[in-house]
Amino acid sequence: MVLLLKEHFKLISGTANRPLAEEVAKILKVPLTPVDIKRFHDGEIYCRVLESVRGADVFIIQPTSPDANLHLMELLIMADALKRSSPQSITAVIPYYGYCRQDKKTKAREPITAKLIANLLEVAGVKRVIFFDLHVAQVQGFFDIPSDNLDVIPVFADYIARKNLKDAVIVSPDAGGASRARSYAKILNAPIAIVDKRRPEANVAAVENVIGSVKGRNAIIIDDIIDTAGSITEAANILVKFGAKDVYVFATHGLLSSPAIERIQNSKIKEVIVTNTISLPEGKRISKLKVVSIAPLLAEDIKRTHEGLPMGIVYEGMYRKLEKKIK
């Protein structure tokens, strides 16, 4: 990938996922713009950008991963510091957009927090947002600024194709994820199955049935988030009960809140693959868990945003390559 960047380009990292920002900076062959981020004794955050950003297109890389509220506040404060420093534009690169699951009222007197965060980002001065695999794509409609919701399908599909699994079935762990699973099934030329999951309460997954045939097949579960890993481990149990062979899980965002690691370790799942939208702490690295990088895709999107070039053509190229590999 040959990357030519104009002069007025700045890449900034918050504290949420510095390794990802460094990887992107390396691909783009630019240094990260230094920022001083400190905490006061009462927990308040201080931020100062340490070089001029006047006239620059500035990209801040900061997922709102755990600690979600801290990282979100840091992002808002960084945007405010930039807004007051006369850049050309501010793009918030939020590889994992927390609160995206609070996208509607399901009971009386609940908030729609995904919309609140969108408002906060715009007030802070953000002029464009880049996400990966939003929980529901409609969340883009909460923003009145341009947004890119980047797909990780080419990254995961390539990994799946290289595994060369015979008799695969693509599985959605719930009805909500069916269209995501369908996209993979189409590219990988495989059938689809859907796990009938209910949520009797937050963070509890109840699974009773599988729609579609999984008997004698290698099950590939596709999900956007692994939080407590209840959904994927319950799905794996029922898939095995219904006669599936090996069970693999591909999930974009590995939140892996306790007891996720323990559940995965003790589960019937053969391998779990997540991306680095969220930085994986040392204590959560187990052999069953693999991380693939979205940095090349993100770097390309950032570069194209800066240069005013389309991204769709890049995806088309990747899908064509995949098709050839799979045939």
Which parts of this chain interact with ligand R5P (CB under 6 A)?
173-174, 176-177, 203, 205, 223-231
User: At closest approach, how far in Å is the CB of 271 from ligand R5P?
Assistant: 16
197/245 with CB nearer ligand R5P: 197
Q: Residue 148: enclosing H or E segment and its boundaries?
A: strand 147-150
Bond preceding residue 173 cis, omega within 30 of 0: no
Task: Give the β-pairing of 192-198 and 206-211.
Answer: antiparallel
Take residue 242 and report the two structure tokens written for it: 């219904």
Query: Which residue's CB is nearer to ligand R5P, number 63 or number 177?
Result: 177
Nearest residue (CB) to ligand R5P, 78 versus 289: 289
Annotated active-site residue in 197, 270, 288, 321:
197
Is 197 one of the catalytic residues?
A: yes
| Ramachandran bin of 71, using left for φ above 0, alpha for ψ from -120 to 50, beta for the remaining angles | alpha
Cα 171 to chain centroid, rounded: 19
Task: Say how far apart CA 240 and CA 217 lie, in whole Å.
Answer: 10
Nearer to ligand R5P, 88 or 113 (CB): 113
Q: Smallest Cα–Cα separation from 252: which of 118, 160, 151?
A: 151
Q: From the CB of 45, what's the least distance to ligand R5P, in Å?
A: 27
Smallest CA-to-CA distance from 101 within 85, 113, 89 is with 113
| Shortest reach from residue 186's CB to ligand R5P, in Å | 20
Q: Over the range 287-300, which residues count as b (16 or more CB within 10 Å of their CB) and which as e?
A: eebebbbbbebbbb
Query: Shortest gap between Cβ of 232 and ligand R5P (angstroms)?
Result: 6
- Residue 57 or residue 227: which is nearer to ligand R5P going by CB? 227
3-state secondary structure of 16: coil
* Minimum distance, C-beta of residue 131 to ligand R5P, in the bound complex (Å): 15
Instruction: Give me the least distance between CB of 34 and ligand R5P, in Å please.
Output: 35
Beta partners for 149? 131
Q: In what order do the strands lie in the sheet with 206-211?
A: 206-211, 192-198, 168-172, 218-226, 247-254, 271-275, 289-292
Q: Considering beta carbons, is residue 11 or 226 the nearer one to ligand R5P? A: 226
The distance in angstroms from the start CA to the end CA of the chain is: 25
Phi-psi region at 181: left, alpha or beta (left = phi > 0; alpha = psi -120 to 50): alpha
- Which residues have a catalytic role annotated? 197
